[in-house]
Structure 1
Amino acid sequence: MEPRPLSFLIQTKLYPLSIIMRNLPIEIINVVVENVSSMTDLLQLRCLNQAYRDLVTPIAFTKLHIKNSIQSAQNFQQIIAATHLATHVREVVYDSRDDECFQFPQENIEVEDMLEVAELEEALTEAFCAIDALPRLECVTASFWPSFISQSGKEIRESPFWFTNRQLTVTHAIYHAMKTSRMTSLSLNNVVMMPPSRYDFVSSLTNSPLSHLSLSVVPNADISAWSGSKDINGSLGALLPLSNTTLKSLALRSPQGPYHSLETKLSSFHYPSLESLVLENTIFDQTPSPDGVEEFVIRQKSGLRHLELRSCASYVASPSFDARLWSSIWQRWATELTSLRELVVDGDSGYVVLNADWGYVTYKPISTIAAESDSSSLEMFRDAIASACTVVA
């Protein structure tokens, strides 16, 4: 027989565990609380008596999970308003969905659902605008999914307009609160990059408190197929903080495919304290330019210690053109990135062309000589990093 969860044992009339646990020494109570991982069980323990309440509260309210529903957003507001609970909150997680694959569904929203969509946006806006009242808040993670749970329990699949509008609303609210919040870490997942003018609130934050920023962006091809627009995804740079000495860690990802148009527009960004940079499914320009990713990496060279490239590719303007080989990038970085201490290259560093119908597709196979040059140049880069680490040690 599988062991019963603690909440069952506390509630059942056939097992007097709740009576026993109320009378345990405080040292034993503390051990029990520290070894309970289920939030349901923790909240049950919290109701036993004042001793349990005092021990459980800091644990149960350290990390808050906000579902994409009106009720959950309102519950979050109540916690923020309760000083004795708000003081314990260090991390806020919005709409986390474990093991769920992001995809754009066919909408099923009806006329009567429209008012609830508007009410959801209002509740989320009020909640996230108020996070500056959480005195110990350190981290916010917001994941965006094109559906929400209605008050009747029905899953409402949204249209492109409502999904992108809610995304902007929540992001704007977070940045509004960031002006006076102690938050240092922000992760935004499943982002649709709208035109830069929609993100004026990012550039208005002249003193960003962030030391870590992570962006996971929905690929252009998926957006185009869902919304019927080929222009919806704007420049990635619209969500990057202004150049500053605060940012130490930056991750730019798209687990499902290349995330940006060729106009990355990164020339104005410099983070001299940046120590870690992660790039996933990133397209490098065929010709280095100040706006491109390659130059962006080099501008951060003074402090950069950790660099990850995951499934990145080099752009080729046409199938009839010669590719700019990765070997030239590796060789250049080996010369420039002298402070680097760790390099992770995961997956093939390939080559792509842009197809009008299919998006980025694989470029024709490069020659054996070119492939060997890419491989040997990468190994020489890694050897240079290893040698630098040895000298420092």
Structure 2
Amino acid sequence: SQSIVLLKNNGILPFKGNKHIFVTGPNANSMWAMCGDYSFPSMSYFWKGITDDLDHPHIVRLLEGMIDRMPNNMAINYSRGCDWTEEIETKYSEGGDQRAWEYKLLHRKVDSGEIANREEALSMAEEADVIVAAMGENVMLCGENRDRKGLRLPGSQEQFVESLIATGKPVVLVMFGGRAQVISNIADNCAAIIQAWYPGEEGGHAVADILYGNISPSAKLCVSYPNVELNEPLCYNTSVSQDSRVAWPFGYGLSYTSFKYDNMKMDSEAKTTDESFTLSFDVTNTGRMDADEIAQLYLSPATATQNLRPIQLQGFARVSLKAGETKTVKIKVFTDQLGYYTHSGSRQWNIAPGRYLLKVGSSSQDIRLTRTLTLTGEKVVKPIRDNYFSVSSE
């Protein structure tokens, strides 16, 4: 559950009260939604074509997890509705592991073993109070040597979600897969959006616990989530301003509660020869639900002439807070983290005197606290840095 990111929520989540839930989509009742490329089921299927006897250890599917965790005052109906894709989308290329350069390995689709009846699903959706649409990829659509032709939802999944939205019932979109998928055409009209990635063997229970509010979502994005298809890097650290091509920024993730950051403390000066310095700040759970917050530490240069990225993650701390509770987070930051790499004749790591901005926030675009540190002394040069990431404690 700690890897599942809540991207959007208009208040529909967590589910409360008497609810008739309709569950649909190619990943609702499939183990292929739970485990990524380098897992026993995926490797057995891809390399050996094995489709039987793959469920050990048992992989909990979303539908199964929702039924297992379902409160007494709720009911669930299910129909697959659509398949992953109607045609083979895997793009054949001679790259990566040469053993996978066989046409027959890549030119195939996963058989779900279920009938996808679109009309039945839409009819059942009309009768529900809320719709959970489980979409995304599978072992043949995401993995080594398995490029796709685009980044949108495979096949006709997007069109199916549009039809679900057209029923007028709130749609909770749950996406599975190993990468961000462009959903800009449907995101605005979904009541909630969850990026589940490949959540593992207990993935069905993990997503269900979030849907029902047994736990609050706490994960943060490890990528800049695009709103357009493009074939180039899209990284948060190229600008302190959010790129217009980004739907949700690096470090972003919603919770069922709210958090307040304050009381940041840090010495204003340190020496270039110091191993480290320490900063601290308070995080308060200002909502009514116990939850975790992932507080993030970023570094920015104070001037444009410094040889640093405009913003760069330097550490984080997962803070578990009961409703109303405050904790103080302490972070040990190494002066190595303020340095930069050069290669003029020989490679070297440089720690230069100057002013640096230490920023604490809930995402790369939600900075709550900032302090300025001045490094004094001569520039320190070493062949390679000794420390790469900060160390946090409560």
TM value normalised by structure 2: 0.32
